[in-house]
């Protein structure tokens, strides 16, 4: 009974709307703090709940001009994460740059050793929504990653990848790609 009355009061004062606005403002303040920390290249696009988090030492993270991240993004940069120019992503991007030592003969499922493997993302890369990029991944310039993909390894420039694990399904047209680069047609 008390719970129902409390919920009615919150509904009446539009607490949910007020709280959502506070969260939005908080995310914008955090984005500004990240711009100061990582440089003016850091752009955050709010696409609903989830915010964003960059975890690890600031000196292990870099992002190029014209690049952005969206809501529900988590980037773990202890092993190093470098994002090139004009990188775009859908919401729900996850990047890991460390992993566990599961090969250890000491403990199961893994020991206490953290293995750092840098992630390098080239220029003009586009990740769809809910993409996971694993430690040690290197994405060449112009790569497109389909929504929901899990990516590991070296992906050649202009490749279009999809799946779990992600594999190359196509390539961008080289002539068209080069023409757009030369004309500086960037979104």
State the average pLDDT over residues 127-139: 98
Mean pLDDT, residues 138-167? 98
Give the chain's mean pLDDT.
89
CATH, residue 37: 2.160.10.10
- d(Cα 45, Cα 68) in Å, to the nearest integer? 7
User: What is the number of other CB atoms lying within 10 angstroms of the CB of residue 76?
Assistant: 19
Does residue 34 lie in a domain region? yes
In a domain, 23, yes or no: yes
Q: Which residues contact 39 (CB under 8 A, 6 or more apart)?
A: 62, 63
Catalytic residues, which ones? 100
Supply the DSSP string of 29-92, one letter for each residue.
HHHHHHHHHH-TT--EE--STT-EEEES-GGGEEE-TT--EETTEEEE-TT-EEE-TT-EE-S-
d(CA 54, CA 62): 11
Considering the domain boundaries, does residue 119 fall inside one? Answer: yes
CA angle 48, 132, 88 (to 5 degrees): 60
**Is position 126 within any domain?**
yes
Confidence at residue 163, expressed as pLDDT on a 0 to 100 scale: 98
Q: Is residue 158 part of a domain?
A: yes
- Whole-model pTM: value is 0.85
In a domain, 187, yes or no: no
CB proximity list for 108: less than 8 A, separation 6 or greater: none
pLDDT in tens, 62-104: 999 989 889 899 999 999 999 999 999 999 999 999 999 888 8
Residue 50 within any structural domain of the chain: yes
Q: Which residues contact 161 (CB under 8 A, 6 or more apart)?
A: 143, 144, 145, 146, 149, 151, 155, 167, 168, 169
The pLDDT tens digits of the residues spanning 103-122 come to 888 888 888 888 999 999 99
Query: Nearest-5° angle of CA 41, CA 46, CA 51?
Result: 90
Q: Would you say residue 98 lies in a domain?
A: yes
pLDDT, tens only, 28-44: 777 787 777 766 677 88
Q: pLDDT-based confidence at 183, cuts 50/70/90?
A: very high
CA–CA separation, 33 vs 128, rounded Å? 26
Number of domains forming the structure of the chain: 1
Q: Domain range for residue 130?
A: 2-182
């Amino acid at each position: 009974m008390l719970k129902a009355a409390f919920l009615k009061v919150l509904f009446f004062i539009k607490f949910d709307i007020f709280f959502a606005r506070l969260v939005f403002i908080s995310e914008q303040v955090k984005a500004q703090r990240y711009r100061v920390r990582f440089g003016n290249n850091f752009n955050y696009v709010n696409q609903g709940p989830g915010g964003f988090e960059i975890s690890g030492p600031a000196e292990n993270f870099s992002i190029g001009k014209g690049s952005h991240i969206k809501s529900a993004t988590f980037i773990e940069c202890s092993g190093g994460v470098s994002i090139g120019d004009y990188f775009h992503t859908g919401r729900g991007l996850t990047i890991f740059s460390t992993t566990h030592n599961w090969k250890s003969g000491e403990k199961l499922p893994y020991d206490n050793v953290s293995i750092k493997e840098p992630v390098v993302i080239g220029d003009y890369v586009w990740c769809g929504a809910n993409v996971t990029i694993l430690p040690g991944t290197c994405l060449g310039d112009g790569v497109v990653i389909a929504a929901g993909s899990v990516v590991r390894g070296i992906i050649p420039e202009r490749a279009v990848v999809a799946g779990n694990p992600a594999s190359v399904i196509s390539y961008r047209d080289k002539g068209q790609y080069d023409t757009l680069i030369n004309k500086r047609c960037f979104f």
